[in-house]
Structure 1
Amino acid sequence: MSAPRIGLVHERFTEYGGSEAVVAEFTRTWPGARVFAPIVDVARSPAPPADNLAMPWGDIEDTWLTRAHAATGRRSHAPLLPFAPRAFRGLPLTGRFDAVVVSHHAFATQAVFATDAPVVAYVHSPARWAWDRAFRAQEGGGRAGQLALTGLGHIARRAELRAAPHLTRVIANSHAVAERVQDWWGLPATVVNPPVRLDRFALDPTVEREDFFLFAGRLVPYKRPDLAIRAARRAGCRLMVVGDGRFRRQLEELAGPETTFLGAAPDEVLVDMYRRCRALLMPGIEDFGIVPVEAMACGTPVLAVSEGGALDTVRPGVTGEYVPPGSDEEVVEHLAQRMTGFDSATFDSSVIRAHAESFGPASFRDRVAAVVADVLEPGRVAPPGTDAMSGGR
């Protein structure tokens, strides 16, 4: 059988993060696949050389929204999002592919209306800000932002529900996301955790642990760096914060002298922090969470709230510990209690590293390829190491 013709559709290329790394692995899974996105801003979304797409960036097929984005000075893509469903539905996909694989955050599944081929949606999450009122309140900022996000949320919910019945298969990036797909879309999903580039993160037995905890990631409200900072203050523990974002000024006002902000940092600095900290703190509810797996690849234990993607990655007593979910005050108190007297020496760094290796890119490519092969030839291939979700664990 000749290699299938695969079309790849991504939400947008306006920054480089975990979902763009997923698309990069898609292009390695299906060499020669065409990539489409409504907004492409290569200058603002450079990939690390090791992660780059297996195709020239200039070959990504965009839409009129890219020109509209440029005309607005590329300050923000957010004002263009209400037009995204129409842009996806207008992609030139019909008659070109045997299957279309969609990388979905909010609107990308609308591409199902632009093709006659089966569509497999890899769902980073249904739009949480559209479905989850508490999440929307946290992300919306002031009243104007809340109103705008509420209106956009209505558009996103309607778009997702319109597309869902037409999807051939749904892949979720974690069990938590699979449960959302079932609850919000009424569809089962196969779980395939996203790829983590473990070659950039490794053990170094010559590096000794030091007396500080680490928060790493974008400084945005949903990642809850504020809870890590409050817990460090309550526990009287040193905290290093690696990352930057719109929440930084408020966090600096909240922090005490025990917290140090390092800003955005290259991989070599982040790896050094992973290797030297007592533990990584994960106080937010992630869809999956690549940062904790990176830390584990360096042999570092993780303290995480027991919800969301952490349930797929953290093994209590082996790769880290959970703190129970609850109100902000309860999470801060539980996290502070865990931090006080936490002993990273009770964890085996080589066992932590071995666990992280199960999330490598090769395993991801095998699993998504098997799902798509099963769509094209039902029953011939069983996706290795995946499991289907139909609502509960």
Structure 2
Amino acid sequence: MNTPPTARRVDGPSALHGSGARIAIVHERFTEYGGSEAVAGELARTWPQARVFAPIVDPAAAPEFAYPPWDTITGTWLSRAYTATGRRSHAPLLPLVPRALRRLPLRDRFDAVVVSHHAFATQAVFATDAPVIAYVHSPARWAWEPAFRAQEANSAAGRAALTALGTLARRTELAAAPQLTAVVANSRAVAARVRNWWGIPATVVTPPVRLDRFTLGPAVPREDFLLFAGRLVPYKRADLAIRIAQRAGMRLVILGGGRDRRRLETLAGPETHFLGAASDAVLVDLYRRCRALLMPGVEDFGIVPVEAMACGAPVLAVGAGGALDTVQPGLSGAHIPFGSDENVITGFAAALRDPGTTDLDPARIRSHAQSFGPDMFRARMADVVAEVLHNTIPSPAANA
């Protein structure tokens, strides 16, 4: 945990116990549903009386069950601006997000503020005198990693805009970091980025995965196809999954949509089938039947592999990023050495030729996945906040 330069005082009996404290939750945007929104929902379940704030809030973005209850969420004027654009993209509004966060109505209203951070959410530290606990999905990789930024922009104008936004993100992250009372990272890889880029330590609490929705099926032999599931964006490396299947001579099913699909279709042959976005029922069925889930991209954490393991599927993942926390070699899958694209493809193909890599016990795989359930996440986050409150409240002796 970090000690800010100026101690932040917390007054009132409610602050003595994390469960009764006045908690604010700050998330960067509610414009679509993904892993970070699942985290925001579980944070709201941890503190049912909490208020939730976000610069951009779009109630039409997802079914109500996907988020905290809408009547607990407070947006800003950027929500109206987003709606006025026809909800085409939140990206043009991003340069305005830090200012909106610094002006959130948090001061003198809460005992602690928990922020869910991708790029700008830690700016909420400047809107309150209460202790701030940052749950970091990752510092903005597109701001800190030139190679990551290059693959996210496909035009000179896009690269220039992302470079300018990256400069803003780095500056705002570094300004906020020393003011944070505690930092929680969603994986050891993200904790390392926080240490290397922000210069401060972080505790690791892995994200929650809805294991009640992803379960084992009937005990039947797995089928001879590979699965890639997730958004079709460059850093997920579905292109490598296609080339791995071609090298291994196996069928590949790609589940998910995104801006990279057209390019991927030009790389794929008859061995690859694109199913687009699908329901949880379809996803669970594929998890239960596939030979293995492929994870050739470096994830901050990666909820998809945990979902697959909850359904008994082995996961073959590049040995970097969140896979080091989620995939246990020999029990739930295998780590493929990270390196050049050719080395990664060769490594995956070699692993798939070894039956022992994927012939694993589904019940043991499921048991491993259960350590990532929502109950564990809520308990650990409640402990972090309770410790912060305990350490921040002045003792009677200090006030004498």
2:278 corresponding residue in structure 1: 265
1:84 corresponding residue in structure 2: 97
2:56 corresponding residue in structure 1: 39
1:138 aligns with 2:138: no
TM-score, with structure 1 as normaliser: 0.93
Q: Structure 2 CA distance, aligned partners of 1:45 and 1:94?
A: 30
TM-score, with structure 2 as normaliser: 0.92
- Deviations 1:226-259 (Å, cap 9, x if unpaired)? 0000111121110011101000011111001101
Amino acid at match of 2:154: G
1:376 aligns with 2:393: no
Q: Which runs of 4+ in 1 moved over 6 A?
A: none
Partner secondary structure for residue 44 of structure 2: helix
The correspondence for 1:107, drawn from 120, 125, 136, is 120
1:326 corresponding residue in structure 2: 339
Q: Structure 2 CA distance, aligned partners of 1:58 and 1:42?
A: 10
- Deviations 1:121-164 (Å, cap 9, x if unpaired)? 00000000000111101111221111111000000000000000
The correspondence for 2:33, drawn from 16, 34, 40, is 16
Which consecutive residues of structure 1, in runs of 5 or more, have no partner in the other structure? 381-393
Alpha-carbon offset, residue 358 of structure 1: 0.2
Larger C-alpha radius of gyration, 1 or 2? Answer: 2
2:44 corresponding residue in structure 1: 27
Q: Structure 1 CA distance, aligned partners of 2:115 and 2:326?
A: 24
Partner secondary structure for residue 285 of structure 1: coil
Alpha-carbon offset, residue 171 of structure 1: 0.2
- Deviations 1:54-84 (Å, cap 9, x if unpaired)? x3x1441111111111121111000000111
Assess if the C-alpha contact under 8 Å between 2:40 and 2:67 holds in 1: no
1:124 corresponding residue in structure 2: 137
Assess if the C-alpha contact under 8 Å between 1:39 and 1:65 holds in 2: yes
Amino acid at match of 2:308: A
The correspondence for 1:246, drawn from 252, 256, 259, is 259
Amino acid at match of 1:20: E
Alpha-carbon offset, residue 52 of structure 1: 3.9
Alpha-carbon offset, residue 13 of structure 1: 0.3
2:308 corresponding residue in structure 1: 295
1:176 corresponding residue in structure 2: 189
Alpha-carbon offset, residue 341 of structure 1: 4.4
Q: Structure 1 CA distance, aligned partners of 2:91 and 2:25?
A: 22
Partner secondary structure for residue 83 of structure 1: helix
Partner secondary structure for residue 356 of structure 1: helix
Assess if the C-alpha contact under 8 Å between 1:279 and 1:344 holds in 2: no
* Count of matched residue pairs: 376
1:86–1:15 CA distance, 2 compared to 1 (3 A): same
1:387 corresponding residue in structure 2: none
1:367–1:147 CA distance, 2 compared to 1 (3 A): same
Q: Structure 1 CA distance, aligned partners of 2:355 and 2:86?
A: 48
Q: Structure 1 CA distance, aligned partners of 2:209 and 2:236?
A: 19
- Computed over aligned residues only, the root mean square deviation of the Cα atoms, in angstroms, reads 1.4
Aligned residues with identical type, % of pairs: 69
Assess if the C-alpha contact under 8 Å between 1:123 and 1:171 holds in 2: yes
1:390 corresponding residue in structure 2: none
Amino acid at match of 2:171: R
Which consecutive residues of structure 2, in runs of 5 or more, have no partner in the other structure? 1-12, 15-19, 394-400
Partner secondary structure for residue 377 of structure 1: helix
